[in-house]
Amino acid sequence: MTDVVRWAVFGCLLVPAVLLAHGDSAGGALTVALGLAAVTVACRALLRRAARAAARPPEGAHRGGRAPRVVRR
């Protein structure tokens, strides 16, 4: 588990606990916890997708060998 995921889990647990401690309803705290978990999952998916896209070579890039020779007339 990465540090980012650990902090996200910590936040998803801490925020509802603080809400309950300050008198919010259990339903409200559960709703907040589920919302935070959904945002965390979405962000993690987007970060993984961006990392995979960054690791790929750019479109149209040559896969080794020499670059084509340009002949000027």
Which pLDDT score is estimated for 66? 65
The pLDDT score that the predictor gives to residue 59 is: 72
* CB 36, CB 11: distance < 8 Å: yes
Dist. CA 22–CA 25, nearest whole Å: 9
For 2-56, write each residue's pLDDT tens digit: 788 888 889 889 999 999 999 999 999 999 999 999 998 998 899 899 999 888 8
